[in-house]
Amino acid sequence: MGMLASLSMGALSDRLGRAVVILLVGSISAACSFTMGWLIGFPIILIIAVGMVYAFSVLGDSPILSAGLTESVVPSYLGAAFAVRSFLGFGAGSISPLVFGAFLDWMNPAYSDAGVYVTWGWSYSVLGLGGLGVAVAVYILYRAQSRR
């Protein structure tokens, strides 16, 4: 899914604009996060389909961000800009399983009658906050830039 997302979203952002496509994939990623954990008990084909869209959308912003950096950063600082982007991206990627696991434990106390649906649903929803944050940030920045 990563290679397909990189190729197609990079090309699509060249045509439609970086902000539009990042807003699209960030919104889809957030929607998949908010949906995925609640699908327990649904047909496996639906879970696989949502999982594939989820994997695609989570990785779809990477080529767009890379292209945006190369277009907006002074070439003599491009290496440092990519280093900071990688540090932040890998840092978020390292922290998210910890947050997911901690939330899973918090929502699944011993002797709870809440059940597996609530537990996994809320844990995946925490991940959706990242995608939602991306969508909101891009929307705000896009509106601010279009007013100029």
Q: How many residues does the chain have?
A: 148
Please report which confidence band the pLDDT of residue 98 belongs to, taking 50, 70 and 90 as the band edges. very high
Q: Where are the domains of the chain?
A: 2-146
Q: Copy the structure tokens of residue 49.
A: 């389909």
Nearest to 131 by CA among 81, 96, 102: 96
- Angle of the 62-72 helix axis to the 78-106 helix axis, nearest 10: 150
* pLDDT over threshold 60, residue 122: yes
* pLDDT over threshold 90, residue 78: yes
Please report which confidence band the pLDDT of residue 54 belongs to, taking 50, 70 and 90 as the band edges. very high
Please report which confidence band the pLDDT of residue 117 belongs to, taking 50, 70 and 90 as the band edges. low
pTM above 0.85, yes or no: no
Q: Copy the structure tokens of residue 148.
A: 């100029």
Residue with tokens 């954990």, as numbered in its chain: 37
Residue 107: the pLDDT is: 81
